[in-house]
Structure 1
Amino acid sequence: MSVLSVYLVEDDPLVAQHVREVIMASSRLRYVGHAPRLSVAREELPRTRPDVLLSDLGLPDGDGTELIGELSHAPAIEGVWHPHILVFSVFGDEARVINAIAAGADGYFLKGCSADELVRAVEQAARGESPISPTIARHLLKRFRDGGVSEDTLIEHEEVSVPGTLGDGSRTAVTVREHQVLKLVAQGYVAEEIGERLLTTPRAVATDVRNVYRKLQLLERARAVEQAPRRPGWA
């Protein structure tokens, strides 16, 4: 993998310094900037164009979820820059996790992880995977349970539905395998261990997690599409 450029949005100077040191200590990552506020990030990101955006949520001038949504909704046309977005936050409550993923975050990691875990999460996001911690997996499992997903349903059917439908009336469904992967992540297993238990590969496990993220994003966007305001474009 080539060297990945990383931009940080974080208002705590001590946390920002720590993350900067972790990134600069890695030969595989390159630190390209830092914003303590959303307004600074909005100004600098089109210029720095990082491979990975590492963003906190609680910021002095708003919620990082706003920035995630703006970047995720930018037109997907040739030549337009789209970073991989990794939330790095102290907030691990269900509402914030679901909202950030629904807005377009590629991964959600809680502060307090080790330097190696942070570097690995950045690299996973850049590969198109969705870094996920046991806490986040438990929130997603709860989301599905709230929508009527039970163990009996999983045994009886190949797919089970997340609450709600898409605009065309079809349902957004999580497969039995995806649910199994989430359960194992929630129990603390890593991709390699999950692959061994489910007789599959770590790459397939990563794909399952990414699919769950995408299904949640599709569902939440479909619900909000009529009310969504026009978002600023990113050059």
Structure 2
Amino acid sequence: MPEGDEIRVLLADDHPVVREGLSAMLESAPDISVVGMAGSGEEAVALAAAVRPDVVLMDLRMGELDGVTAAARILARSPEVRVVVVTTYESDADILRAVEAGAVGYLLKGSSRAELIGSVRAAARGETVLSPAVASRLFRARAPEPNALSEREREVLRLVSRGLTNADIGRELFIGEATVKTHLLRAFKKLDVSDRTAAVIVALERGLLGT
């Protein structure tokens, strides 16, 4: 989104106290506006269509329609929306499902105001939002697998994890943007994923990107 524009956020959580707490922290930032609060997955899908947020903070566990399914429905209709999962570590499998559904990252419900606001801004800029504490838990979700990525593919994914665009990565590595895309597509195929966020997550889980 253009620099300086207000970031429109939709909160989806079935606990009113959590919604109010997140809203209060976000509204303290001059460039963020909470445009809707949903108490269920169904309500989140409907509100997202009505208020057209830039970022959705989505709880995973919400009654009949869970956060993963709600996220998938929102993104199917509005692929430009950035969905960030809000988790309490209930299930690593659920978080991985959320990434596969198109979520761009994770936040902890106990995140500080600065972490929350910074993550929302990063998501709005198109960056991957990875809470280190959540990531460290996810790295253990699968056993390390043989290193299937080339060194250049690993370099590209490391830069993706820092939020760089393809053009930025090309300048950093002194290669063309088309070459960056080629490396990414090869990495996607090797990791059996279909997007940048999932590629970074899987590569990190398998210990392919180093420290």
Name the TM-score, length of structure 2 as normaliser: 0.68
* Cα deviations by residue, 1:30-82 (Å, 9 ceiling, x for unpaired): 010101011212222211001111110000223100011122333xxxxx663
Unpaired stretches in structure 2, ≥5 consecutive residues: 164-171, 173-183, 196-211
- Structure 2 SS opposite 1:46: helix
Matched with 1:3 is 6
**CA separation in 2, counterparts of 1:18 and 1:102?**
28
Matched with 2:199 is none
Distance 1:143 1:91, change over 3 A: closer
The alignment yields a C-alpha RMSD, in angstroms, of: 3.5
Could you tell which deviates more after superposition, 120-129 or 18-27?
Answer: 18-27
**CA separation in 1, counterparts of 2:188 and 2:155?**
14
For the 8 Å contact 1:141–1:179, the answer to whether it is kept is no
- Structure 2 SS opposite 1:146: coil
Letter in 2 for 1:104: G
Could you tell which deviates more after superposition, 65-74 or 97-106?
Answer: 65-74
- The number of equivalent residue pairs is 173
Please state which structure has a larger fraction of its residues in strand.
1
Identity across the alignment (%): 27
- Structure 2 SS opposite 1:175: helix
Letter in 1 for 2:192: L
* Cα deviations by residue, 1:122-155 (Å, 9 ceiling, x for unpaired): 0000000011112333355446753333xxx77x
Could you tell which deviates more after superposition, 134-143 or 55-64?
Answer: 134-143
Matched with 1:109 is 107
Matched with 2:88 is 90
**1:12 maps to 2:11:** no
Distance 1:81 1:98, change over 3 A: closer
Unpaired stretches in structure 1, ≥5 consecutive residues: 75-79, 160-173, 183-189, 192-199, 201-210, 223-235
Matched with 2:59 is 56
- Structure 1 SS opposite 2:36: strand
Matched with 1:158 is 151
- Pairs within 5 Å for 1:58-207: 58-74=61-77, 82-91=80-89, 93-139=91-137, 141-142=139-140, 145-149=143-147, 157-158=150-151, 175-176=154-155, 178=157
Letter in 1 for 2:85: V
Letter in 1 for 2:99: I
For the 8 Å contact 1:4–1:30, the answer to whether it is kept is yes
**CA separation in 1, counterparts of 2:133 and 2:72?**
23
**CA separation in 2, counterparts of 1:220 and 1:158?**
18
- Structure 2 SS opposite 1:91: coil
For the 8 Å contact 2:85–2:95, the answer to whether it is kept is no
The match for 2:38 among 24, 35, 38 is 35
Letter in 2 for 1:13: P
Query: How far is 1:215 from its partner?
Result: 4.2
For the 8 Å contact 1:49–1:81, the answer to whether it is kept is no
Name the TM-score, length of structure 1 as normaliser: 0.62
- Structure 1 SS opposite 2:48: helix
Distance 1:91 1:141, change over 3 A: closer
